Amino acid sequence: MLTTMPQMRVDPIWDLASTFQSDPREDKLDLLLGVYRDDSKRAPVMRSVLAAEAKLLELAESKQYRGLSGNLVFNARISELVLGPELVARATTVQTVAGTGALRILTELLAITGPSRRFILGTPSYVNHAPIIKAVGPALTSYDLLDPEGRFDEQAMLDAVAQARPGDVLLLQGCCHNPTGLSMSSRFWAELTEAMLTSHVVPFVDQAYFGLGDGLQEDLEGMRGMLARVPEAVIAVSGSKAWSLYNERAGAAIVITSEDKRGFARSTLETIARSSYSQAPEHGAAIIAEILSDPALERMWRAELDAMRRRLATLRTDLIDGILAVHDSPTFRAVAEQRGMFLTLPLTVAEMQTLSTEFGVYGLPSGRINLAGVPRGQVSTIAEQIGQLLTRRRD
């Protein structure tokens, strides 16, 4: 059976998570996984989610199959939320196994409909982007997403689009980029749209962290402006972050195209889903559909999401101010421009290793940490620990 056993690359997040679990220190911090935690280090269930689950339990609906497109109410509500009322008429939406499932089936759709097209990916990026594209098979090209100071390199992205062929795909993150925590300005979204229209490049937007950056509408407006102008696009939507529904695996694949192609888009996505996982799980999608269909629950959810966003912003400001008090540099000032759940520290692989082995603070070798995993009472301590690393660097 296992006649050949090639070495497979282990996802560093889960590899380090295993190391964290075996660490006996009680004050250790897990800043690895993209999970929102509170000051007690718990990943809490949102009150709006609990209220929606109570309603669903009372309704006691059947557990029968939903169909290949999944929960249709969820599809409608999530499309309205992410796209806004004007773009919904151009959208075809299929429920997926979380945002990752949406990335996969949309990549397959694009590969089927354009066998010679290339995917363009700015690096660093979400750890699963390149493996998904490579598993499906399209050609993959990359460019450096960051300038030497760690800021978003707008010209590099524009150059990558200018060098693309018609039909090529540019993979973007809608806001709060993983792992860098950066978001594109409204001005640059508009400039990028012009470049993509000129080069006839297809936007592929990964929307996972909306609501955790500058606000729900603010995090979506740049993408919406682009989608209003391009003839076709695809969007992968995750329900994991904004509703803290990580293990429920709720997501959506959205295709923006002309009316005469929407039927083909739906049937193709359904065919891909059928041969991959048949149908997406119901519970998480039903929770989101219930929240977005009930005005009171939606208000509760929006308030909770905004509180999460404000906490993340405060943690970022306090941590960076603490570090800058010890070590003032352009690269650390650039970190203050990041948004959302993640923060990428300009530390070396060796320094990140020291942070975990010496201080019990676990982040990725790239410098990415999950800011939400930092209890407020430990912010100054972590800033001091990072300051010690930087002092050693100078010495």
Instruction: Round to whole Å and give the CA distance between 174 and 226.
Output: 11
DSSP codes joined into one string, 58-71 = HHT-------TT--
Q: What pLDDT is recorded for position 246?
A: 95
Q: How confident is the model at residue 10 (pLDDT cuts 50, 70, 90)?
A: low
pLDDT, tens digit (0-9, with 9 covering 90-100), for 366-382: 899 999 999 999 999 99
Q: Is the pLDDT of residue 76 over 90?
A: yes
Cβ 315 vs Cβ 374: under 8 Å: yes
Q: How confident is the model at residue 27 (pLDDT cuts 50, 70, 90)?
A: confident
Q: What pLDDT is recorded for position 191?
A: 97
pLDDT, tens digit (0-9, with 9 covering 90-100), for 191-244: 999 999 999 999 999 999 999 999 999 999 999 999 999 999 999 999 999 999
Query: 22-36, 46-60, 88-102, 262-276: which range is least confident on average?
Result: 22-36
Complete domains list, the chain, with CATH:
12-44+310-390 (3.90.1150.10), 48-293 (3.40.640.10)
Q: Is the pLDDT of residue 96 over 90?
A: yes
Give per-residue burial for 139-164: e unless 16+ CB within 10 Å, then b: ebebeebbeeebbbbeeebbebbeeb
Q: Which two tokens stand for residue 355?
A: 């942070």
Distances (CA, A) of 96 to 36, 276, 282, 376, 395: 22, 11, 10, 35, 51
Q: What pLDDT is recorded for position 299?
A: 98
Percent of the chain's residues with pLDDT above 90 = 76
Instruction: Give the bridge partners for 344, in sequence order.
Output: 368
The residue type at 114? G
Q: What pLDDT is recorded for position 350?
A: 93
Distances (CA, A) of 143 to 237, 255, 383: 24, 25, 32
Average predicted confidence (pLDDT) for the chain: 92
Q: Is the pLDDT of residue 344 over 70?
A: yes
Q: Which of 294 and 14 is assigned the larger pLDDT?
A: 294
Query: Please, where are the H alpha helices in 327-378?
Result: 330-335, 349-359
Q: What pLDDT is recorded for position 230?
A: 97
Q: Is the pLDDT of residue 394 over 70?
A: no
Mean pLDDT, range 69-94, rounded to an integer:
96
pLDDT, tens digit (0-9, with 9 covering 90-100), for 112-122: 999 999 999 99
Query: Please, where are the H alpha helices in 258-294?
Result: 259-276, 283-293
Q: How confident is the model at residue 59 (pLDDT cuts 50, 70, 90)?
A: confident
Q: Is the pLDDT of residue 292 over 60?
A: yes
Q: How confident is the model at residue 28 (pLDDT cuts 50, 70, 90)?
A: confident
70 CB-side CA count, 13 A:
35
Q: What pLDDT is recorded for position 65?
A: 87
Q: Look at residues 273, 251, 270 and name the one whose alpha carbon lies nearest to residue 74.
A: 251
- Coil vs helix vs strand at 141: strand
Mean pLDDT, range 16-21, rounded to an integer:
81
Query: 43-52, 53-62, 68-77: which range is least confident on average?
Result: 53-62
Identify each DSSP E strand in the chain by its residue range: 29-30, 91-97, 118-123, 139-144, 169-173, 202-207, 233-238, 250-256, 342-344, 361-362, 368-370
